[in-house]
Chains A and B, each alone.
Chain A
Amino acid sequence: MSLLEVEDLRVTFPTEAGPVEAVRGISFRLGRERLGVVGESGSGKTITGRAVLGLVRPPARLAARRLAFDGRDLLAMGEGARRALRGRRMAMVMQDPKFSLNPVMRVGRQLTEGLRLRDRMSAREARRRAIAALEAVRIRDPERVMEAWPHELSGGMGQRVMIAMMLIPGPDLLIADEPTSALDVTVQAEVLRILDDLVRERGMGLIFISHDLKLVSRFCDRVIVMYRGRIVEEIAARELENARHPYTRGLLGCLPRIGGPRGPLPVLARDAAWEG
């Protein structure tokens, strides 16, 4: 059975100039695998992730023929049940750790709070678990990081702390929204490797949302390419070089390469037909 089933998902935002459909009827299934969701800004990829987590709030409207997690219908579930699910079985890593960590709480307390409140764990046990999680994301000096304030962490370190925090309850589904875009390139690779190992070891389902097609294809099993709220292509990551949709091909071709030709870069000729 699929971990996540999404069928005909639509998200609409009301604006002064009339409703705008940001996600326009997309369907996909996710097993215990790594799925990349790729698109440019405005493609609806981030909203798709938030919709799965139940973070689409009024006045935005969500509709779907089916939205199920581990066989349970998410649309029929109350807000409390959704929240419980988000805490334990679904987690999200966001783009910029600066905005995801509470700036006035030490890292250690943020890591242990959930364990102590939700799982009624003793302070000692919670601390042990938190340190283990920090070690799992290859933080060399977890004791020191536990005592640190968020602003004392570098970008890469902050993002590792975020990943550790998300992984502590042992979720079945992890949604990573551009988890490395705010990081320096030399740090990116390290954070991705950590994420990759964790997903592999724990057999989680992963939705990796990114604008970077090449990065996603190296990291995922399957890739969904979104354009203006629709899926234009779904392809095995290995087969990406053989992508057929002109948008996917255009995305692959428009990046400069070191030592590449000096002439103008190929640009996307957008076709109204892609919007379907």
Chain B
Amino acid sequence: MIPAAARAWLLSEEPASPLQARLGVAYLGWLRFLRNPLAVAGLIIVLALVAVAALAPWIAPHDPLAQDLANRLRPPLSPGHLLGTDEFGRDILSRLIHGARVTLQIVALVALTAPLFGLLVGTVSGYFGGWTDTVLMRLTDIFLAFPRLILALAFVAALGPGVENAILAIALTAWPPYARVARAETLTVRSADYIAAIRLAGAGHGRIVLRHVAPMCVSSVIIRVTLDMAGVILTAAGLGFLGLGAQPPLPEWGLMVSSGRKFLFDNWWIATMPGLAIFIVSLGFNLLGDGLRDVLDPRGAGR
């Protein structure tokens, strides 16, 4: 798999550069990850989603928006339409493939913004304590007090429907758990001797929080993010389903479930196929998150 020389270089007990040291640790984590077959399955699903999204125009058999009323409501396995067609005769497989792009866009944008904000709020809150902590955490509590979808609905209602606003609304509702996780981690880290040592070396608060405390919280947050991705996809789908997220004719999976529900009894595949896609991708992220937990857990950072 990996040539013996590269393996020896990675596992070297005497790395010659910071890069080699880091890669060595990453490689050990990767080996630990590989021991968990379910996590590998999750990773494959997520990678498949990325690949499908990237190659959508080339692998989709039809134009996802092209209507063909003569061929409407074809069941799965019809000639030319592997997963059948919907009420306008559009190819469901092609719509699912292009829908992967929308899903990935939502996931990526939420995963980039919400955790960073949560991490910042959580570490600052936990590190400084006192009034800072009280104010930031009560704010977090307010956000946590509302069900996620309801709050996202309120934001979208205020901002107007559309994919961009749905992403914004989801990000705005997604950060509080990350702030909580980061704060909990910070509370255990802040009294550690290595933090006392760097404080004794004269380091300022900003440096301690950003360079010494935050890195210890990142892995917990990453695990949480991966596990939350299923929820994000479902919320996006939910918003789409309610007509407040992506707008027709965009092939968004939640929207496809929503429009298929009218035909659920006679033409089950229209709602079921996108539902299955949501299910599989959510499952993939969950399995991946579980696997990452074993690899990234700071307490298991040894060997």
Residue numbers of A with Cβ under 8 A of B are 15-17
Contacts and interface: CB of A to CB of B under 8 A. Distances in A.
Contacts of A17: 11, 28, 303
Interface in B1-51: 11, 28, 31-32
Interface of B: 11, 28, 31-32, 303
Nearest to B303: A15
B65 to A, nearest CB: 49
9 contacts: A15-B303, A16-B11, A16-B28, A16-B31, A16-B32, A16-B303, A17-B11, A17-B28, A17-B303
Contacts of A15: 303
B112 to A, nearest CB: 30
Given A16-B11, A17-B28, A17-B303, 6 more contacts: A15-B303, A16-B28, A16-B31, A16-B32, A16-B303, A17-B11
Q: Is the interface of A mostly helix, strand, loop or mixed?
A: loop
Contacts of A16: 11, 28, 31-32, 303
- List 9 tightest A-B contacts by C-beta distance, closest first: A16-B31, A16-B28, A17-B11, A15-B303, A16-B32, A16-B303, A17-B303, A17-B28, A16-B11
Nearest to A16: B31
Contacts of B32: 16
Contacts of B303: 15-17
Nearest to B13: A17
A178 B28 CA distance: 32
A16 to B, nearest CB: 4
Nearest to B32: A16
Contacts of B31: 16
A217 B31 CA distance: 44
Nearest to A59: B35
Nearest to B29: A16
A17 B28 CA distance: 8
Contacts of B28: 16-17
A194 B32 CA distance: 45
A126 B303 CA distance: 44
Contacts of B11: 16-17
A58 to B, nearest CB: 13
A15 B303 CA distance: 7
A129 B82 CA distance: 75
A57 to B, nearest CB: 16
B36 to A, nearest CB: 13
